[in-house]
Amino acid sequence: MAVYTDVNEAQLSRFLQDYDVGSVLSYKGIAEGSENSNFLLHAERGSFILTLYEKRVDQSDLPFFLCLMQHLARRGVICPLPVQRRDGELIGELAGRPAAIITFLEGMWMRHPTVAQCGEVGRSLAQLHLAGADFPMHRANALAVEGWRLLWNGSRDRADEVSPGLAAEVEAEFTDIETRWPNDLPRGIIHADLFPDNVFFLGDRLSGLIDFYFACDDFYAYDVATCLNAWCFETDFSFNPAKAAALLTGYEAVRPLSDREKAALPLLARGSALRFMLTRLYDWLTIPDGASVQKRDPLEYVAKLRFHRDVTSPSTYGLS
Ligand SMILES: Nc1ncnc2c1ncn2[C@@H]1O[C@H](COP(=O)(O)OP(=O)(O)OP(=O)(O)O)[C@@H](O)[C@H]1O
Ligand SMILES: N[C@@H](CCO)C(=O)O
């Protein structure tokens, strides 16, 4: 579930007086998501998502996330547009939490994306990278290599509870990845969490990208690597080369990858698999069973890590 903070009608009506959306027709909490409290809001002038930002989001990052969505939406990326308050601000306060309203996007996320949908994601990711190139704000990636160490320090001692031998395997990964991690690939704004549950489709047409709350500055090719992991493996964790080729072809139709970016993909995909394994492992070990936050399987990302470790050429991903 993802309603941590309840909002009553009087509080909401008062909050909406600062906006030009008319009065509330109806609103209800949204179960999906885990970071923030989200509500579907029908107001006289349209449908919106109302988000109350909870403790896992650093409040000082909110202007970056909301201004980024505004910037991208104005440049044609299909993402929510934050609604400005009458005073021009994008962030207000509701029930004691920072809160914002963004436009509602139609569509559904795909539990089993098709090859064609992977192509659409690649294309949209490249559009996002190009549209973000002149965004003037910056945010370091809190979950870049140094951040992974902090997560690992909090889980290493219990990693073998999840899978025997995992601690030693991850230590070896760290040594290798930290030594070889590139420092000079093309970089700019990345989404950093473009998983299927953050992409809506109407049929094969992509109808929205959401959840920019991990967006930051990092290598564009790292974002591509994250999408390879999130979109191009099947539920039995097997790699689907047709989906990878479609995703990369879609991406390159908009923003061709340089030879150095291509050559780095196996390592970046390994690093990205390690990053998501670590956040999942940390949650797995620290969130109590039965808590409202959904725990995701870290072993899925151990399997992906092992796959990329054996990749010797980017041609495995369908690149020449
Ligand atoms: N602009 C939007 N249009 C339509 N639905 C939306 C929109 N934004 C969010 N949602 C809905 O709200 C749900 C939660 O949104 P979101 O993924 O941003 O939440 P979150 O709390 O940041 O969760 P997490 O980071 O765990 O995915 C989405 O799965 C989707 O159903
Ligand atoms: N996409 C992440 C969850 C955080 O948004 C995962 O699947 O581990």
Confidence at residue 126, expressed as pLDDT on a 0 to 100 scale: 98
Q: How far is the CA of 211 from the centre of ligand 1 (A)?
A: 6
Is any atom of ligand 2 closer than 6 Å to the C-beta of 187?
Answer: no
CA distance 224 to 246: 12
Structure tokens at 200: 């809506």
Q: Is the pLDDT of residue 97 over 80?
A: yes
Which atom of ligand 2 lies nearest, measured to the CA of 211? Answer: 5
Q: How far is the CA of 193 from the centre of ligand 2 (A)?
A: 7
As a whole number, mean pLDDT of residues 198-204 equals 95
E strand spans, the chain:
24-29, 37-43, 46-52, 92-94, 97-103, 187-190, 199-202, 205-209, 216-219
pLDDT over 90 percentage in the chain:
91
Q: Is the pLDDT of residue 320 over 80?
A: no
CA distance 261 to 128: 17
Amino acid found at 273: A
Amino acid found at 34: S
Strand partners, 200: 208
Confidence at residue 204, expressed as pLDDT on a 0 to 100 scale: 87
Is any atom of ligand 1 closer than 6 Å to the C-beta of 37?
Answer: no
Report the 10 Å Cβ neighbour count for 93: 11
Confidence at residue 34, expressed as pLDDT on a 0 to 100 scale: 75
CA distances (Å), origin 62, targets 14, 17, 122, 227: 22, 21, 26, 24
Cβ distance 77 to 168 under 8 Å?
no
CA distance 225 to 263: 12
Confidence at residue 22, expressed as pLDDT on a 0 to 100 scale: 96
The per-residue pLDDT of the chain, averaged, comes to: 95
Confidence at residue 4, expressed as pLDDT on a 0 to 100 scale: 84
CA distance 250 to 49: 29
26-47 pLDDT tens trace: 999 998 877 899 999 999 999 9
The rounded radius of gyration (Å) of the Cα atoms in the chain is 20
CATH of domain 115-317: 3.90.1200.10
DSSP 8-state assignment for residue 20 = S
Topology of the domain covering 9-103? Phosphorylase Kinase; domain 1 (3.30.200)
Structure tokens at 52: 């109350």
CA distance 161 to 55: 28
Provide DSSP, 195-256: -GGGEEEETTEEEEE---TT-EEEEHHHHHHHHHHHHSB-TTS-B-HHHHHHHHHHHHHHSP
Confidence at residue 35, expressed as pLDDT on a 0 to 100 scale: 82
As a whole number, mean pLDDT of residues 227-249 equals 98
Cβ contacts of residue 282 below 8 Å, gap of 6+? Answer: 151, 154, 155
In the three-class reduction of DSSP (H, G, I as helix; E, B as strand; rest coil), residue 169 is classed as helix
Which atom of ligand 2 lies nearest, measured to the CA of 195? Answer: 1
Quote the pTM value.
0.96
Is any atom of ligand 1 closer than 6 Å to the C-beta of 81?
Answer: no
Strand partners, 174: none
CA distance 186 to 162: 36
Q: Where are the domains of the chain?
A: 9-103, 115-317
Q: Is the pLDDT of residue 264 over 60?
A: yes
CA distance 269 to 197: 19
169-190 pLDDT tens trace: 999 999 999 999 999 999 999 9
pLDDT over 70 percentage in the chain:
98
Cβ distance 303 to 288 under 8 Å?
no
As a whole number, mean pLDDT of residues 60-74 equals 98
Q: What is the dihedral of CA 197, 201, 205, 208, to 10 degrees?
A: -70
Cβ distance 39 to 28 under 8 Å?
yes
Report the 10 Å Cβ neighbour count for 175: 10
104-159 pLDDT tens trace: 999 999 999 999 999 999 999 999 999 999 999 999 999 999 899 999 999 999 99
What is this model's ipTM?
Answer: 0.95
CA distance 174 to 189: 25
Confidence at residue 83, expressed as pLDDT on a 0 to 100 scale: 98
Q: How far is the CA of 35 from the centre of ligand 1 (A)?
A: 9
Q: Is the pLDDT of residue 1 over 70?
A: no
**Cα–Cα nearest to 308, from 261, 280, 274, 258:** 274
Confidence at residue 291, expressed as pLDDT on a 0 to 100 scale: 66
Could you tell me how many residues make up the chain?
Answer: 320
- Ligand that comes closest to the CA of residue 195: 2
